């Protein structure tokens, strides 16, 4: 049974699905089946590969893919609800599996594998899916104050099905953030990648020179020229083979020294001690997204974490009770359960409004209809997707099924409101890390800019 919230006459159907990701689940499950099929095909290529080392590598990959897909499909819903698992699946299909072609050697095998990938292309995770999962992880980090290390070791969630992330996994998230101008998240994940790389001790294929290269710029962009300088020296100690890379790093060192000299002058003027290069304080990394500094946005994240944003002066007077709402015939046999949340204005929560059978019906009816939610673009006047609204939605009309009509009538009975002019039942799937940031659920007459 689920809950209906009523506030000042506005209806919000909350959490009408059992699984948070029942739409994303269907797509990702198909990817797991494709992974199994690809593993079967790759096995048939193994005897045809001349090079023994490559032959063994391809055989190992086939076994790895088959085991991963089989284990995941044993409890796909739980497995795919974990954002780290979803991330690694998307990373596998966008970067790792296509790279298998390089191991096949012969042209006929490469062509055969390429054609098979083309056949599955419409059902395989894309770069857009990869980007979406990374954004979800970054959003979960901010909203729930989760450090990257918690994702790496799997302790961010009480569900024990999270694989340990590799240095490469961390680096790809850091690189994604950096290339989109998000230096705050980039620095966090690049530093985590470096720490994980040091623990892996050569058991990985992470390009340390490339990682340090990104770290230099991310650290400096976030106001840490001294740390960036140390990363420069470490990179040069690895003797990068590209002469242009060496020269670029020497140019960066010259610039960083200039920055540090200016910083030293500032510190002296303020009477602050100048840090020693070999014993620097912890790196600084300030969150700089404008909307993240507003109290409204901070309250939004607090509410997501289950924290309070203000003191409720009426808390001692709040109560729970059952009601037939004026002896409404629809509620005589099963009165609605009411929980008072606030007074002035009155805010109540109705419990057990939708049954499990009705929830299942809503899921079955809406899943094929779900489409990416959109917002109104004030410039073009068109409906477009937006980073601050990440979900899929569908609308269920009363005539679609008697149960939908029954739910509408039940809401009318509970709220004592006329349903003639209301919208159809809206079903929203927020998937992994989905959200709709604080907004006004209205448009203002006479004003071009829509606040939806």
pLDDT at 109 over 70: yes
pLDDT of residue 20: 31
Q: How confident is the model over 136-165, as a mean pLDDT?
A: 86
More confident residue, 328 or 451: 328
pLDDT of residue 12: 33
The proportion of the chain whose per-residue pLDDT surpasses 70, expressed as a percent, equals: 89
More confident residue, 12 or 130: 130
The total domain count for the chain is 1
Helical segments of 271-401, H only: 295-304, 356-366
Question: How far apart (Å, rounded) are the C-alpha atoms in residues 323 and 187?
Answer: 54
Give domain status of residue 279, yes or no. yes
Q: How confident is the model over 21-32, as a mean pLDDT?
A: 65
The model's confidence at residue 114, banded by pLDDT at 50, 70 and 90, is very high
Tokens representing 433 are: 């890390």
The model's confidence at residue 24, banded by pLDDT at 50, 70 and 90, is low
pLDDT at 19 over 90: no
Give domain status of residue 272, yes or no. yes
Give domain status of residue 219, yes or no. yes
Give domain status of residue 152, yes or no. yes
Give domain status of residue 63, yes or no. no
Q: pLDDT tens digit string along 394-421? A: 999 999 999 999 999 999 999 989 888 8
Give domain status of residue 171, yes or no. yes
Question: How far apart (Å, rounded) are the C-alpha atoms in residues 102 and 111?
Answer: 11
pLDDT at 392 over 70: yes
Question: How far apart (Å, rounded) are the C-alpha atoms in residues 329 and 324?
Answer: 8
Rg of the chain in Å (alpha carbons):
27
Lowest mean pLDDT among 24-28, 71-75, 167-171, 311-315: 24-28
pLDDT at 223 over 90: yes
pLDDT at 180 over 90: yes
Instruction: State the CB neighbour count (10 A cutoff) for residue 127.
Output: 11
pLDDT at 47 over 60: yes
Q: pLDDT tens digit string along 309-356? A: 888 999 999 999 999 998 999 999 999 999 999 999 999 999 999 999
Question: How far apart (Å, rounded) are the C-alpha atoms in residues 301 and 298?
Answer: 5
The model's confidence at residue 436, banded by pLDDT at 50, 70 and 90, is confident
Sheet holding 425-429, edge to edge: 371-372, 392-396, 425-429
Q: How confident is the model over 2-7, as a mean pLDDT?
A: 43
Quickly tell me which residue has 């994303």 as its tokens.
24
pLDDT of residue 18: 29
Interacting residues of 217 by C-beta distance below 8 A, sequence separation 6+: 178, 228
Q: How confident is the model over 281-305, as a mean pLDDT?
A: 82
pLDDT of residue 106: 87
Q: How confident is the model over 123-137, as a mean pLDDT?
A: 87
Give domain status of residue 280, yes or no. yes
pLDDT of residue 160: 60
More confident residue, 21 or 131: 131
pTM of the model: 0.79
CATH number, residue 275: 1.25.40.10
What integer best gives the mean pLDDT of the chain?
A: 86
Give domain status of residue 252, yes or no. yes
Name residue 393's beta-bridge partners: 371, 428
Q: pLDDT tens digit string along 242-290? A: 999 999 999 999 999 999 999 999 999 999 999 999 899 999 999 876 6
Lowest mean pLDDT among 23-32, 107-116, 159-168, 191-200: 23-32
More confident residue, 378 or 24: 378
Instruction: State the CB neighbour count (10 A cutoff) for residue 172.
Output: 20
Q: How confident is the model over 137-151, as a mean pLDDT?
A: 91
Range of the domain at 179: 146-295
Lowest mean pLDDT among 150-159, 201-210, 215-224: 201-210
Question: How far apart (Å, rounded) are the C-alpha atoms in residues 273 and 266?
Answer: 10
pLDDT at 6 over 50: no
pLDDT of residue 22: 34
Question: How far apart (Å, rounded) are the C-alpha atoms in residues 338 and 351?
Answer: 6
pLDDT of residue 293: 66
């Amino acid at each position: 049974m689920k809950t209906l919230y009523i506030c000042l006459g506005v209806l919000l159907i909350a959490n009408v699905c059992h699984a948070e990701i029942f739409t994303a689940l269907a797509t990702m499950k198909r990817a797991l089946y494709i992974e199994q099929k690809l593993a079967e095909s790759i096995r048939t290529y193994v005897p045809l590969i001349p090079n023994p080392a490559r032959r063994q590598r391809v055989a190992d990959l086939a076994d790895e893919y088959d085991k991963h897909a089989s284990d995941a499909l044993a409890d796909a819903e739980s497995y795919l609800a974990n954002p780290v698992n979803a991330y690694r699946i998307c990373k596998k299909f966008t970067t790792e599996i296509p790279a298998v072609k390089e191991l096949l050697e012969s042209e006929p095998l490469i062509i055969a594998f390429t054609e098979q990938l083309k056949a599955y292309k419409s059902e395989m995770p894309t770069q857009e899916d990869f980007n979406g999962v990374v954004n979800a992880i970054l959003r979960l980090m901010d909203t729930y104050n989760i450090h990257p290390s918690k994702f790496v070791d799997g302790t961010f969630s009480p569900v024990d099905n999270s694989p340990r992330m590799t240095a490469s996994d961390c680096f790809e998230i850091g690189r994604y953030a950096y290339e989109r101008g998000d230096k705050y998240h980039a620095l966090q994940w690049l530093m985590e990648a470096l720490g994980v790389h040091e623990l892996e001790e050569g058991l990985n294929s992470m390009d340390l020179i490339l990682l340090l290269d990104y770290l230099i710029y991310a650290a400096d962009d976030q106001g840490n020229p001294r740390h960036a300088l140390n990363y420069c020296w470490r990179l040069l100690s690895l003797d990068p083979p590209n002469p242009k890379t060496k020269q670029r790093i020497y140019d960066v060192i010259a610039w960083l020294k200039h920055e540090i000299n200016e910083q030293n002058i500032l510190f002296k003027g303020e009477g602050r001690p100048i840090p020693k290069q070999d014993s620097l304080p912890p790196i600084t990394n300030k969150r700089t997204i404008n909307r993240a500094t507003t109290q409204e946005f901070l309250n939004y994240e607090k509410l997501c974490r289950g924290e309070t944003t203000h003191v409720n002066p009426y808390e001692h007077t709040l109560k729970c009770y059952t009601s037939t709402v004026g002896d409404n015939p629809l509620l005589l046999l099963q009165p609605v359960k009411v929980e008072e949340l606030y007074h002035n204005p009155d805010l109540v929560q109705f419990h057990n409004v939708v049954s499990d059978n009705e929830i299942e019906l809503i899921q079955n009816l809406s899943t094929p209809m779900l489409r990416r939610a959109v917002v109104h673009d004030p410039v073009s006047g068109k409906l477009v997707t937006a980073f601050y609204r990440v979900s899929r939605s569908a609308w269920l009309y009363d005539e679609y099924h008697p149960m939908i009509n029954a739910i509408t009538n039940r809401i009318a009975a509970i709220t004592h409101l006329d349903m003639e002019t209301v919208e159809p039942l809206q079903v929203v799937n927020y998937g992994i890390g989905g959200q709709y940031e604080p907004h006004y659920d209205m448009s203002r007459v006479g004003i071009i800019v829509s606040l939806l």
